[in-house]
């Protein structure tokens, strides 16, 4: 698949060729039937006035009923096929964009999550509209051609008038549609930026309230939203001008055809039945011409949306993962890693050991967590990280995720229930143990529904400590071979922290566990403590030995 805007549209058309073919046939039948109606009326008038035969009249009425039935059924089934294909194709693109947005290997798309959300919804839907646009464009062309031929049989001048008028209208509107496409791209970008700003503000709502920054944040969003509004108004004006011009030009062409037919009838060059047919076709042609003239605009909008999707879908991965898998139950080794605040960090955690890392600088702790979580590609730092004896660069990213879990201190909470937050896949057998070890039992006991108690978006109905313990329970329930926790209890009280540290030590016994923390409770519960100072490991021992022998350590972690 060619991951450009045009390539995405070609892929959508190719995947739905069968549905579009049937849709085009049925919609062509619909337009042909609509065109046949005024032609049939003209023939009825012509023959009724000439023959005055009731049998011919009855036959003509029966023919009209057949035409009406054909028009009704072809429209119904044609649009059903096209809309089903449209909906299915939009779903495919939404899934593809979401898969890239959720890809474990980060992608350098220079887009915020709110923008990716807009691309995965509105842009995916507008791109899939091409599935309906092309058949409707072809069927409208069929109607125009049938009209031109029918009028040409009555008078060559009438047929040429329709063809020349249609070409002139499309030429004028194609120029206008380019401007709409350019404005639409800018509108979509600004609306997406406004969505991203909202997502950022919601995620930081509590801190904003904490220091009184919500008013300034609101003004910031208002400015971005106002820019999006002005651009939307500009596009709406262009669309209005386009629609008005299309309607006006179509009406002018219909009026010219009607007047020309009347003049030819007045001069006796066409009969009364042909005049009726010409007047009927002139009125009918307004609708297919309107549809035909609007298609360039929809094509430009679909292309603009496809180009925005290509920003996500065509972005190269930051790293190309390998295919190997780590040995089960393996150890964790960081070998001379230099990245950010880290300077030649080197340590090894054997399988089954519980190690705490006391990082004196928060930046170094965050950088170490990012490297271990593979949020930083191996090529972006010096040194190597080995899991189960294999370098992360050689491992499939899915294998890394199954084997090693890094739980951040700010883990997200999702709308749902306590249970779905702890065990999103519904397959964990460690939920009760994880709830107990994370001291989430009091939260469960507070509510009649227990683990089925509802949780609002981002855990809005939970306290900071409850959200943190819920995130910790989710990490423990995953039961991975290697678990890395980054400041898992910063929002809980000292007594609860002590209980959590003991619970994790018991639950994770025999499993490799690393806790990046300054918590005395975790440092004391660990088998071994590594001191990370100024980007390097400067000491390692048990917590109690370090308290006795290292004054700097004692001052840093004592509470």
Q: Are residues 77 and 145 in the same domain?
A: yes
Last residue of a domain, one of 254, 279, 313: 313
Last residue of a domain, one of 313, 340, 365: 313
Q: Please provide the average confidence, as pLDDT, over all residues in the chain.
A: 82
Average pLDDT estimate for 195-212: 52
- Pick the most confident of 20-24, 32-36, 312-316: 20-24
Instruction: State the Cα–Cα distance between residues 235 and 301, nearest whole angstrom.
Output: 11
Asked whether residue 325 is assigned to any structural domain, the reply reads no
Average pLDDT estimate for 152-165: 82
Asked whether residue 549 is assigned to any structural domain, the reply reads yes
Range(s) of the domain holding residue 132 = 5-313
Asked whether residue 481 is assigned to any structural domain, the reply reads yes
Asked if residue 348 lies in contact with residue 38, where contact means CB atoms within 8 angstroms, the answer is no
Number of structural domains (the chain) is: 2
Asked whether residue 327 is assigned to any structural domain, the reply reads no
Least confident window among 278-282, 400-404, 452-456: 278-282
Asked if residue 392 lies in contact with residue 385, where contact means CB atoms within 8 angstroms, the answer is yes
Asked whether residue 179 is assigned to any structural domain, the reply reads yes
Q: Are residues 266 and 336 in the same domain?
A: no
Residue 146: which pLDDT band, with cuts at 50, 70 and 90?
confident
Which pLDDT value is given to residue 61?
74
Q: In what order do the strands lie in the sheet with 382-387?
A: 342-349, 332-339, 382-387, 390-391
Average pLDDT estimate for 222-249: 72
Q: Which residue has the higher pLDDT, 170 or 543?
A: 543
For residue 303, the domain's CATH number is 1.20.1560.10
Q: Are residues 172 and 218 in the same domain?
A: yes
Number of Cβ within a 10 Å radius of residue 396: 15
Instruction: State the Cα–Cα distance between residues 229 and 225, nearest whole angstrom.
Output: 6
Last residue of a domain, one of 256, 280, 313: 313
Measured between alpha carbons, how far is residue 72 from residues 79, 317, 438 in Å? 11, 50, 64
Asked whether residue 32 is assigned to any structural domain, the reply reads yes
Q: Are residues 336 and 307 in the same domain?
A: no
Asked whether residue 326 is assigned to any structural domain, the reply reads no
> Is the confidence at residue 97, as pLDDT, over 90?
no
Which pLDDT value is given to residue 98?
82
Q: Are residues 521 and 405 in the same domain?
A: yes
Average pLDDT estimate for 100-120: 64
Q: Are residues 382 and 344 in the same domain?
A: yes
Q: Are residues 292 and 427 in the same domain?
A: no
Q: Which residue has the higher pLDDT, 33 or 367?
A: 367
Asked whether residue 290 is assigned to any structural domain, the reply reads yes
Average pLDDT estimate for 72-84: 91
Q: Are residues 308 and 406 in the same domain?
A: no
Share above pLDDT 70 across residues of the chain, in percent, rounded to a whole number: 82
Q: Are residues 467 and 387 in the same domain?
A: yes
Share above pLDDT 90 across residues of the chain, in percent, rounded to a whole number: 36
Q: Are residues 300 and 444 in the same domain?
A: no
Instruction: State the Cα–Cα distance between residues 444 and 418, nearest whole angstrom.
Output: 8
Q: Which residue has the higher pLDDT, 408 or 501?
A: 501
> Is the confidence at residue 204, as pLDDT, over 60?
no
> Is the confidence at residue 11, as pLDDT, over 70?
yes
For residue 490, the domain's CATH number is 3.40.50.300
CA atoms within 13 A of residue 239's CA, in its CB half-sphere: 15
Residue 209: which pLDDT band, with cuts at 50, 70 and 90?
very low
Which pLDDT value is given to residue 211?
46
Q: Which helix (H) or strand (E) holds 319?
A: none
Which pLDDT value is given to residue 53?
63
Q: Are residues 268 and 413 in the same domain?
A: no
Verdict on whether the full-model pTM lies above 0.75 = no
> Is the confidence at residue 394, as pLDDT, over 90?
no
Instruction: State the Cα–Cα distance between residues 335 and 72, nearest whole angstrom.
Output: 73
Partners of 384 in beta bridges: 335
Where are the extended beta strands (E) located within 276-409?
Answer: 332-339, 342-349, 354-359, 382-387, 390-391, 404-407
Q: Are residues 131 and 9 in the same domain?
A: yes
């Amino acid at each position: 698949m060619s991951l450009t805007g045009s390539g995405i549209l070609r892929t959508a058309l190719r995947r739905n060729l069968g549905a579009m073919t049937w849709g085009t046939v049925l919609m062509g039948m619909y337009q042909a039937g609509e065109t046949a109606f005024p032609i049939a009326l003209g023939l009825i008038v012509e023959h009724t006035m000439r023959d005055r035969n009731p049998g011919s009249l009855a036959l003509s009425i029966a023919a009209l009923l057949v035409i009406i039935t054909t028009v009704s059924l072809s429209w119904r089934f044609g649009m059903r096929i096209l809309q089903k294909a449209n909906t299915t194709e939009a779903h495919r693109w939404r899934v593809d964009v979401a898969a890239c947005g959720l890809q474990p290997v980060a992608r350098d798309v220079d887009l915020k999550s709110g923008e990716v959300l807009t691309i995965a919804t509105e842009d995916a839907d507008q791109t899939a509209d091409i599935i309906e646009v092309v058949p409707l464009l072809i069927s409208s062309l069929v109607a125009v051609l049938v009209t031109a031929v029918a009028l040409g049989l009555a008078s060559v001048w009438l047929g040429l008038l329709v063809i020349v008028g249609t070409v002139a209208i499309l030429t004028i509107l194609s120029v206008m549609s380019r401007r709409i496409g350019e404005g639409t791209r800018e509108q979509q970008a600004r609306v997406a930026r406004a969505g991203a700003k909202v997502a950022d503000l919601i995620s930081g709502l509590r801190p904003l309230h904490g220091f009184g920054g919500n008013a300034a944040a609101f003004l910031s969003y208002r400015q971005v939203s106002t820019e999006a509004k002005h651009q939307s108004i500009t596009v709406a004006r262009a669309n209005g001008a386009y629609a008005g011009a299309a309607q006006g030009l179509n009406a002018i062409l219909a009026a010219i055809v009607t007047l020309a037919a009347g003049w030819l009838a007045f001069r006796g060059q066409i009969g009364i039945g042909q005049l009726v047919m010409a007047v009927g076709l002139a009125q009918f042609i307004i609708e297919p011409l309107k549809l035909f003239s609007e298609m360039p605009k929809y094509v430009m909008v679909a292309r603009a949306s496809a180009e925005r999707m290509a920003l996500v879908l065509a972005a190269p991965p930051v790293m190309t993962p390998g295919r190997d898998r780590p040995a089960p139950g393996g150890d964790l080794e960081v070998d001379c890693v230099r990245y950010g605040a880290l300077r030649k960090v080197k340590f090894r955690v054997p399988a089954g050991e519980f190690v705490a890392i006391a990082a004196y600088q928060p930046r170094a702790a965050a950088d170490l967590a990012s490297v271990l979580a593979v949020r930083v590609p191996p090529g972006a730092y010096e040194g190597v990280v080995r899991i189960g004896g294999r370098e992360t660069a050689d491992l499939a990213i899915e294998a890394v995720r199954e084997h090693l879990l890094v739980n951040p201190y700010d883990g997200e909470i999702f709308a749902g229930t306590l249970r779905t937050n702890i065990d999103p896949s519904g397959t964990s057998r460690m939920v009760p143990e994880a709830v107990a070890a994370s001291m989430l039992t009091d939260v469960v006991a507070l509510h009649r529904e227990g683990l089925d108690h509802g949780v609002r978006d981002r855990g809005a109905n939970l306290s900071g400590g409850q959200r943190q313990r819920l995130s910790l329970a989710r990490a423990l329930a995953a039961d991975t071979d290697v678990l890395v926790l980054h400041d898992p209890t910063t929002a809980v009280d000292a007594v609860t922290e002590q209980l959590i540290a003991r619970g994790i030590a018991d639950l994770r016994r025999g499993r490799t566990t690393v806790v990046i923390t300054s918590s005395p409770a975790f440092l004391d519960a660990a088998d071994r403590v590594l001191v990370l100072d100024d980007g390097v490991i400067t000491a390692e021992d048990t917590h109690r030995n370090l308290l006795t022998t290292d004054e700097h350590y004692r001052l840093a972690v004592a509470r």
